[in-house]
């Protein structure tokens, strides 16, 4: 749909100038002078306001004769890893204990410099650091199962205990021996129409699902590690794999509820609120006042809002379905634009 509302157009143009990632998926900008369309964060030069049309879906821009930008590739999911990055990750996953060198990348037709740039931009770490994290993750799992530090070190590809111990402490925060009693939180990344998201999972279930540009995300990570007495390491388990699959189905309009195990550290009251959030039907909204009535705590509206704000599992624990009593959108950690998109998405597929 072409967006003609002037106030909305000005808001979207502000997002384009700021390259605001919270607007990814909520609109596409089409440039009349070049005939191309982009996502809000495209690094190409910002066009003049009078030369832009805004569309709610990429297919609308295509139907009106615009072609996808070759820089930001708007018809792909936001930040979908390109084929060469996927191939590099596959090489690592074939044997996480062996380092994939620049020479091996070149032997497989890959450019080491491009791989490094992509990992630095999207994971804030180098490709070699990513590999080290996976090796330490595997070593940590072995230590948890009772293996000796020496065995774990050499199995992980380290030639000396000192090198293994140093790297382990840098990534985990404690020495191998001191970390045996800690749990593991595995973190992985998933693409979505609204931008990339982090998924964190323990052995018990999903403990975090957040957009990667969420404010105070680092604080959430630290709080989660403290509450679960755990370390966060790169990787996946059956819970995170199931979460990725079900989120994909949700965004495709094929799923309106989630069947996932959750591991949510919090107070009894917070758990009551989070359970109540999960009872809000797909494609509907409610208010804090209505939720307070349902749990027989009419005066706990502010406390409910606070508990809602501490929800770490976006979409699956659907805090986006809570709106103000006046019908307007209230705060959302992922941004109000994403909240509106999610509500519109659910309403559309509920009706379908």
**Is 319 designated active site?**
yes
Residues 283 and 315 in one domain: yes
Question: How many distinct structural domains can be found in the chain?
Answer: 3
CATH number, residue 304: 1.10.10.10
Range of the domain at 308: 255-351
Q: Which of the residues 72, 200, 243, 319 is marked catalytic? A: 319
CA dihedral 38, 42, 44, 50 (to 10 degrees): 50
Q: Does 196 reside within a domain?
A: no
Q: Which one of 173, 208, 225 terminates a domain?
A: 173
Q: Does 214 reside within a domain?
A: no
Residues 52 and 130 in one domain: no
Q: Does 198 reside within a domain?
A: no
Q: Does 223 reside within a domain?
A: no
CATH number, residue 52: 3.40.10.10
Q: Does 227 reside within a domain?
A: no
Closest CA to 167 of 144, 200, 141, 134: 134
Q: Does 315 reside within a domain?
A: yes
Burial of 279 (0-12, 13-18, 19+ CB in 10 A): exposed
233 strand-pairing partners: 186
Question: Can you tell me whether residue 189 is helix, strand or coil?
Answer: strand
Per-residue pLDDT tens listing for the chain (352 residues):
899 999 999 999 999 999 988 788 788 999 999 999 999 999 889 999 999 999 987 777 877 888 888 888 886 655 566 778 888 888 887 866 778 889 999 999 999 998 888 887 666 678 887 777 777 666 666 555 655 444 444 344 444 444 445 444 544 555 555 555 678 888 888 888 887 889 999 999 999 999 887 878 888 888 998 899 888 877 889 999 999 999 999 999 999 999 999 999 999 999 999 999 999 999 999 999 999 999 898 888 899 999 998 999 999 999 999 999 898 888 888 888 889 889 999 999 987 6
**Residue written as token pair 């007495």:** 229
Q: Does 73 reside within a domain?
A: no
């Amino acid at each position: 749909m072409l967006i003609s509302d002037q106030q909305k157009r000005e808001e979207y143009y502000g997002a384009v100038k700021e390259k605001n990632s919270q607007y990814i998926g909520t609109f596409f900008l089409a440039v009349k002078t070049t005939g191309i369309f982009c996502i809000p964060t495209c690094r190409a030069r910002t066009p003049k306001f009078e030369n832009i049309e805004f569309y709610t879906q990429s297919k609308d821009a295509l139907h009106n004769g615009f072609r996808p930008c070759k820089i930001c590739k708007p018809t792909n999911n936001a930040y979908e890893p390109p084929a060469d990055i996927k191939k590099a990750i596959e090489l690592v996953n074939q044997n996480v204990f062996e380092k994939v060198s620049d020479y091996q990348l070149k032997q497989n037709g890959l450019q080491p410099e491009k791989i490094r740039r992509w990992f630095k931009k999207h994971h804030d770490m180098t490709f070699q650091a990513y590999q080290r994290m996976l090796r330490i993750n595997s070593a940590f799992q072995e230590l948890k199962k009772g293996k000796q530090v020496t065995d774990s070190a050499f199995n992980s590809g380290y030639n000396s205990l000192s090198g293994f111990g140093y790297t382990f402490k840098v990534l985990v925060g404690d020495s191998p021996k001191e970390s045996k009693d800690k749990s593991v939180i595995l973190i992985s990344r998933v693409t979505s129409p609204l931008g990339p998201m982090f998924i964190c999972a323990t052995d018990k279930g999903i403990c975090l699902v957040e957009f990667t540009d969420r404010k105070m995300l680092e604080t959430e990570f630290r709080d989660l590690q403290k509450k679960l007495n755990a370390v966060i390491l790169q990787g996946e388990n059956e819970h995170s794999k199931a979460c990725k699959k079900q989120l994909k189905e949700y965004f495709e309009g094929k799923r309106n509820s989630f069947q996932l195990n959750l591991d949510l550290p919090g107070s009894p009251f917070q758990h009551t609120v989070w359970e109540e959030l999960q009872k809000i039907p797909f494609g509907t909204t409610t208010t804090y006042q209505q939720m307070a009535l349902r749990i027989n705590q009419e005066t706990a509206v502010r406390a409910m809002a606070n508990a809602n704000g501490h929800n770490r599992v976006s979409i699956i624990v659907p805090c986006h379905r809570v709106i103000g009593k006046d019908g307007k959108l209230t705060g959302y950690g992922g941004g109000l634009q994403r909240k509106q998109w999610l509500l519109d998405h659910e309403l559309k597929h509920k009706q379908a």
